Amino acid sequence: MTATTEVGGPGAGRAEVGKARLRKEDRHLITGRSRFTDNMVLPGMLHLAMVRSPYAHAKITAIDVSAAKASPGVMAVLTGADVAAEQGSLPNAWPITPDQKAPAHGAIAVEEVAFAGEVVAVIVARTPAAARDAVELVDVSYDELPVVMDLEEAFTDKVLAHSSLESNKSATWVFDSAEAGTGSSVQEAIDNAEVLIERTFYQQRLIPAFMEPRSTVVDPTGEQITVWTSTQIPHILRLMLALTLGIPESKVRVIAPDVGGGFGGKLQVTPEEAITVLAARRTGKPCKYTETRSESLQAGHHGRAQVQRLKLSATRDGTVTGLSVNLLADMGAYLGLVTSGIPILGAFMYNSIYKFPAYRFECNNVFTNKTWTDAYRGAGRPEATFAIERLMDELATELGMDPLAVREKNWIRHEEFPFATVAGLEYDTGNYEAATSKAVELFDYQGLRAEQKRRRESNDPIQLGIGVSTFTEMCGLAPSRVLGSLSYGAGGWEHAQVRVLPTGNIEVVTGSSAHGQGHETAWSQLVADRLGVPFENVEVLHGDTQISQRGLDTYGSRSLTVGGMAVLAAADKVIEKAKVVAAHMMEASEEDIEFTAGSFSVKGTDTSTSLGEIALATFAAHNLPDGFEPNLDSDATFDPVNFSYPHGTHLAAMEVDTETGRVSIRKYVCVDDVGVVVNPMLVEGQVHGGLAQGIAQALYEEAVYDDAGTLVTGSFVDYLVPGAPDLPHYITARTETPATSNQLGAKGVGEAGTIASTPAIVNGILDAVRHLGVKDIKMPCTPSRVWHALQAAQTTGGVQ
Amino acid sequence: MIPSAFDYAAPTTVEEALGLLAAADSAGDDVKVLAGGQSLLPVMKLRMADPSMVVDLGRITGLSGVTDDGDSLTIGAMTPHHVVASDPLIARHLPLLAKAAATVADPQVRHRGTFGGALVHADPAGDMPAPVLAMGATLVIAGPNGERSVDAADFFQGYFTTAVREGEILTRIRVPKFTGWGAHYEKFTRVSQQWSIVGIAAMVRVEGGTIAEARLGLTNMASTPLRATAVEQALAGAALTAEAIAAACLHAAEGTEPASDLNGDAEYRRHLAQVLAKRAVLAAAGL
């Protein structure tokens, strides 16, 4: 049984936590005083431009760089052959099976290219223009090879994406609840099913499309190589660059200055980063590379790209008895940092908030001649959530039940927590009833159902549908032991340091570096409350491996639940240290010192001293207890014991113009339960942005290639990212069921909106047109696709 | 996003500009005329266009603005879209043009991009050609042998191709007044700021309870803008009812040759043309 309150509950008594503070980082970000990597200018800095393959699969037979080298301003031209001995192979840190197959992945292709946009040479020149001009002068001879673009075709191995591999299959990963001891046999459930829902869903390929294109500056002068780069992962990058390029880790410093968004797209060790290091080392000069938007779309990693074959068994009363998932996951041409593990992150989420007893998941990772895929907001979990939420609607339709009723029949009731799931996780807390009833009320569910009925009866050209999505996700990545059991190459802890300056000001050093989330504000609120100091007196330092020496960076909605906890633990150690000095100063015993609101007092007296006074006394060190080191600084590393499980209920009222196929969002209500909230404004921002990206998958975005392997959606003219005018006014609300996996009770919010919204939108569209005979529409549900689906349903009498 | 190096000239008169074009032509230079630059500069930055010289019309006075000639308005080729969208004379006498201009791209593009530039660029998905065609405008082109006037019906010759020849400059557009006509530009896109998937420029003159005259231009239904003449004929004299308009607009796809692309195939575009024509005419007629 878990306690759920409306917003403002547990946080209400605290001074800072729970307060909708404006972001302290915004002043410099919105007044142009930002320090993005491309703003960096170093003396004598050279500029890079990449020569990229126009072919998706080809042998490189010759590269003539003589004209480029002779071009004005060009200092060097490097090909794959030039750097083959030192470039190593870019890392895949998540070999999901011991026999996982992967091609070598040099930053610059040496013999063969496997996707259009792969780097074959780099120009190093005095100006960006000189570098760009020389790109045209590099003469690369290719022997074209057959390409395999379609995932299902790739699985047949008729055409190989890499000549060096015997198969396109990289790995097969299976979870079976009967074998794992977490449930019963799916085959039995399917054999005994009263109702069997079999569907295939396509998760189209998406492009993260962060606002700031990737940029890297490398300074090789001095003892260390310093790398400024637009990344989510300065710490992991430092380690991986060192390992990949054979440089001692201690000789690499990575700085992530202001970073303009990532969405998983900057959770990568990129070829371009490695190439910039190679070029700087080769020339001995600082080097800068900033990609164009076209390069970003073509060569930055993509996301999703899965085919999901699903079987859901149930009884006629709507009780789900089992789920079988058979997945094809498109790796693209290479395995990036965590490419192969992305579908596995979804494996634990197909059962979602439901308690059916049998589950089997099989994933086949497959290579194609496309840009490689990797983390994109939600990473595996949106795909899983889409599948199960679409299936629940299909089941409701099959049985003539209300989609909410089917869900309620199957979800874990709030008194059943903690709950061991069929996928092997333990959900600590949750209250699906509370979030759902609040959403239903805000949505006017019954009123919209009545309107839907009227529109159907009057054959209105604008049909109305209601899309339901009740989701949960695992985030707060992650307990290190769990990651170890999944063959992930690192742990999931996070580090923090809290330093008390002589003035009493506080420096917080965090390993979790923000790229737009607002960590500086949230961490300041946390520490201000814990240490009883003013919010303004807290400075948050991050994103530089020389300042923040340890960390595992920002992804997977982990910052607050893992990094924030490390900050609190470090602050608690500061208090313990300060107590020793306070006792000494006030000539009392340590046991008698009480700490409240920034003040240390002696129990039962009115004698007290402040943290600031203690800090100054510690700094002076004139009169400290024997053996006490003169500082209050403290380090802490937090490793969670469990994931956290945000959940929520999203309801979308979708209007479909049956004449044009245009879909519009009439009303969108989401009630999210992300546990205890530190800053409601930051949470609101994360929810809004997440919804936009989830809606974008449902309606707008798709990376499309032609048969030859060229990315057709190579600019924002064709890759349609919705803007504010294309999105509705959201009605957002929260319930608050604190997580028990961390002291704070927080659960994470970065991915919730993206995970929940895609199925809500598509379920809503289908609910609007299913009575006209439409069974399914592939994402993105473009007007053209919706109209064609309606036409097909009409001409075939309801069977598409 | 760095274009190749190119020479740049910014003449202050049309004569000077024509002289530069002629000189470049005889020297064998690949010359491009820069108006607002909203189409030219992106393709240059992507190196899809690689001119050796750019002649910028931005400093020529007298190529921008709207004048009243009695029966017609004359609009300078360098008039930005936002002026076309907001000018009171255009709003009163050429409401279709104002409405179409307001749908072009986004505010930044509408302030930099020009009416004439959009017409000479002649993107089949651009919004300005179809209204110009529907209104029977006359386009005035300056060249080495003086000025010539071309009817809109002869101006748009193909995919990104117009009657403006090398060495010539479109200077102004003369449009007969349609004072008192109802007008609407129905633009269909997937996101708010996008080229038209299909666009319908519609004008109607209503007399009593009937449609006396109608003019329709179609955007992106072929390599050039088209007149929907079959719809115009069916609407002439038709009753001012939704049913009559819908029936007439079933002809909207006749004679069209739309392309297929990511936003829709030709079949979908033909269907859209009918639906959108109906909506455009209904809106123009105030129904």
A654 and A622 inside one domain:
no
Q: Which of A611, A638, A665 is the last residue of a domain?
A: A638
CA of B3 to nearest chain A CA: how many angstroms apart? 8
Helices (H), A591-679: 611-620
Helix pair angle (A752-769, A783-795), 10° resolution: 30
Statement: residue A26 has pLDDT above 50: yes
Q: How many CB atoms lie within 10 A of CB A723?
A: 12
Output phi, psi for A163, to 5 deg: -65, -25
State the total domains in chain A: 2
**Rounded-to-integer distance, Cα B277 and Cα A324, Å:** 48
A771 and A653 inside one domain:
yes
The pLDDT value given to residue A7: 40
- The residue among B106, B275, B276 with the most chain A CBs within 10 A of its CB, best to mutate, is B275
The pLDDT value given to residue A797: 57
Q: What is the pLDDT of residues B96-129, one digit of tens each?
A: 999 999 999 999 999 999 999 999 999 999 999 9
Q: What is the 3-state secondary structure (H, E, C) of A228-267?
A: EECCCCHHHHHHHHHHHHCCCHHHEEEECCECCCCCCCCC
Nearest partner of A400 among A648, A195, A667, A198, judged by Cα: A195
A656 and A627 inside one domain:
no
Q: Does A126 touch chain B (CB under 8 A)?
A: no
Confidence of residue A380 (pLDDT cuts 50, 70, 90): very high
Do A118 and A53 meet the contact criterion of CB atoms below 8 Å apart?
Answer: yes
The pLDDT value given to residue A795: 83
**Rounded-to-integer distance, Cα A792 and Cα A771, Å:** 13
Beta strands A169-176 and A358-367 are antiparallel
CA of B70 to nearest chain A CA: how many angstroms apart? 40
Domain B66-176 architecture: 2-Layer Sandwich (3.30)
What's the average model confidence in pLDDT over A370-390? 97
List the CATH number of the domain containing A623: 3.30.365.10
The region of weakest confidence among A197-201, A292-296, A370-374, B27-31 is B27-31
DSSP-assigned letter for residue A373: B
Residue A204 lies in a domain: no
A663 and A544 inside one domain:
no
Going from N- to C-terminal start, the domains of chain B cover 7-58, 66-176, 182-284
- Global pTM value: 0.96
Closest Cβ opposite residue B193 in set A128, A293, A723: A723
The pLDDT value given to residue A4: 57
Q: Does A658 touch chain B (CB under 8 A)?
A: no
What's the average model confidence in pLDDT over A359-388? 98
- The residue among A784, A785, A786, A794 with the most chain B CBs within 10 A of its CB, best to mutate, is A784
Q: What is the pLDDT of residues A393-413, one digit of tens each?
A: 999 999 999 999 999 999 999
A606 and A671 inside one domain:
no
DSSP-assigned letter for residue A564: I
Statement: residue A227 has pLDDT above 50: yes
Q: Does B48 touch chain A (CB under 8 A)?
A: no
Nearest partner of B137 among B217, B196, B222, B195, judged by Cα: B217
The pLDDT value given to residue A3: 56
The pLDDT value given to residue A796: 72
A461 and A519 inside one domain:
no
- Taken as a whole, chain A contains a residue count of 800
Q: Which of A591, A615, A638 is the last residue of a domain?
A: A638
Confidence of residue A12 (pLDDT cuts 50, 70, 90): very low
Q: Which residues in chain A have their CB less than 8 angstroms from residue B274's CB? A: none
Statement: residue A125 has pLDDT above 90: yes
CA dihedral A279, A285, A291, A296 (to 10 degrees): 40
Statement: residue B185 has pLDDT above 60: yes
Q: How many CB atoms lie within 10 A of CB B270?
A: 18
The pLDDT value given to residue A9: 33
The contacts of residue A398 (CB under 8 Å, 6+ apart) are: A195, A197
Confidence of residue A14 (pLDDT cuts 50, 70, 90): low
Is residue B124 reached through a cis peptide bond, with omega within 30 degrees of 0 on the bond before it?
Answer: no
Residue A788 lies in a domain: yes
Angle at CA of residue A681, ends A679 and A682, nearest 5°: 70
> Please, which residues 291-330 of chain A have a Cβ atom closer than 8 Å to chain B?
292-294
CA of B260 to nearest chain A CA: how many angstroms apart? 11
Statement: residue A799 has pLDDT above 50: no
Closest Cβ opposite residue A784 in set B2, B191, B264: B264
Residue A588 lies in a domain: yes
Topology classification of domain B182-284: Enolase-like; domain 1 (3.30.390)
- Taken as a whole, chain B contains a residue count of 287
Q: Does B108 touch chain A (CB under 8 A)?
A: no
Nearest partner of A141 among A163, A121, A165, judged by Cα: A121
Residue A274 lies in a domain: no
Confidence of residue A798 (pLDDT cuts 50, 70, 90): very low
A716 and A757 inside one domain:
yes
What's the average model confidence in pLDDT over A543-563? 94
Confidence of residue A800 (pLDDT cuts 50, 70, 90): very low
**Rounded-to-integer distance, Cα A616 and Cα A597, Å:** 18
Residue A229 lies in a domain: no
Q: What is the pLDDT of residues A678-713, one digit of tens each?
A: 999 999 999 999 999 999 999 999 999 999 999 999
Closest Cβ opposite residue B191 in set A715, A720, A787: A720
**Rounded-to-integer distance, Cα B166 and Cα B164, Å:** 7
Output phi, psi for B134, to 5 deg: -60, -35
Confidence of residue A136 (pLDDT cuts 50, 70, 90): very high
**Rounded-to-integer distance, Cα A384 and Cα A530, Å:** 38
A591 and A524 inside one domain:
yes
Q: Which residues in chain B have their CB less than 8 angstroms from residue A718's CB? A: 262
Report the residue of chain B nearest A131, measured CA to CA: B2
CB-side neighbour CA atoms (13 Å) of A721 = 12
**Rounded-to-integer distance, Cα A93 and Cα B129, Å:** 55
The pLDDT value given to residue A484: 93
The pLDDT value given to residue A72: 97
Do A383 and A473 meet the contact criterion of CB atoms below 8 Å apart?
Answer: no
Statement: residue B132 has pLDDT above 70: yes
Tokens matching residue A435: 């979030």
Rg (CA), chain A: 28
Do A314 and A395 meet the contact criterion of CB atoms below 8 Å apart?
Answer: yes
State how far the alpha carbon of A542 is from the alpha carbons of A23, A217, A520, A523, A547, in Å: 16, 18, 9, 11, 7
Q: Which of A589, A618, A638 is the last residue of a domain?
A: A638
Domain B7-58 architecture: 2-Layer Sandwich (3.30)
Same CATH topology for B7-58 and B66-176: the answer is no
Residue A625's domain spans which residues?
493-638
Tokens matching residue A461: 């050209």
Residue A657 lies in a domain: yes
A469 and A568 inside one domain:
no
Statement: residue A2 has pLDDT above 90: no
* DSSP helix/strand/coil, A144: strand
A533 and A589 inside one domain:
yes
Q: Which residues in chain A have their CB less than 8 angstroms from residue B268's CB? A: 661, 783-784, 787-788
Statement: residue A459 has pLDDT above 60: yes
Task: Enumerate the β-bridge partners of residue A635.
Answer: A497
A604 and A741 inside one domain:
no
Q: How many CB atoms lie within 10 A of CB B145?
A: 9
Q: What is the 3-state secondary structure (H, E, C) of B27-92?
A: CCCCEEEECCCCCHHHHHHCCCCCCCEEEEHHHCCCCCCEEECCCEEEEECCCEHHHHHHCHHHHH
Q: Does B195 touch chain A (CB under 8 A)?
A: yes
Residue A668 lies in a domain: yes
What's the average model confidence in pLDDT over B200-209? 96
Amino acid at A765: I
Do A407 and A644 meet the contact criterion of CB atoms below 8 Å apart?
Answer: no
